[in-house]
Amino acid sequence: MFYKVVVKDHIRVSPNYFDKDIEEAIATEARNKFTGFISKELGIVIDVMDVREVGDGILIPGDGAPYYESIFELLVFEPENQEILSGKIKDIADFGAFLTMGPIDGMVHIGQTMNDFVTYSKEKVLTGKESNRTLHVGDKCVAKIIAISYKDPQNPKFGLTMRGEGLGKEDWIEPDLSGEPKVVKGKKKAE
C-alpha cells in the first residue's frame, strides 16, 4: 500500500545548491538521502512529495554546509500480506520466478506460479503440464503477497503467489474470469 508520511529531520544542504531556492535545495537533498531508504516501520521510500516547513539553518564547525530542520512529506510503499500487485518477470530459475514490482522484487515458488504441475526448461521457461501455459522473462503478471521478511532490513524478501482467481500472467486473467473454456493439449476442457 502507498502512503504519504510527514517527516521532520535536519537536512544538510551542500554548497553546490546555494544558488537554488532553499525549498528546492532541501527537496533535492532529502530525495538524495531518503529515496530508496527501507525500514520495517516506514516501508520503502519512493519520493519526497513536498517540503512543508524549513527552519533556520545551523552550521557545524568543520563542515561548510548548513543543516536545516525541515518538515517534508514522503511517498512510501509499505507492502502488506494479501496485497495484490502487478509486476514483470525479471528472471526464472528451476525453483520459481522472480517478479519485479516497481521498487521491490519478490519470488514466486514454482508451485505457486499456476494451478498446474509446472516444469522448468533451460531456456528459462515455466510450462504447465495440463494447461500448456508458459511463463517467460518479461511477462506481465499479477501476484499476491503471501510472506514478508525483514530479516535483512536493507533487502526485505517477499513471497508471492500467482495461484487464484484474478492472479497470474495478464493474458490468463480475463479468460479465467470470463469462464471461457481452457485449452488442454489441443482440446477444449469443459468447466
Which residues are CB-neighbours of 157 under 8 A, at least 6 positions away?
A: 106, 107, 147, 148, 149, 151
Q: Is the pLDDT of residue 191 over 60?
A: no
Cβ-contact 109, 163 below 8 angstroms: no
92 and 174: one domain? yes
89 and 123: one domain? yes
20 and 94: one domain? no
Q: Which of 77, 101, 119 is the last residue of a domain?
A: 77
What total of structural domains would you count in the chain?
A: 2
Q: What is the reported pTM?
A: 0.72
Of all residues in the chain, the percent with pLDDT exceeding 90 is: 68
Q: Residue 125 belongs to a domain with what CATH number? A: 2.40.50.140
Q: Is residue 189 part of a domain?
A: no
Q: Is residue 30 part of a domain?
A: yes
Q: How confident is the model over 63-113, as pLDDT tens digits?
A: 989 999 999 999 998 888 999 999 999 999 999 999 998 778 899 999 999
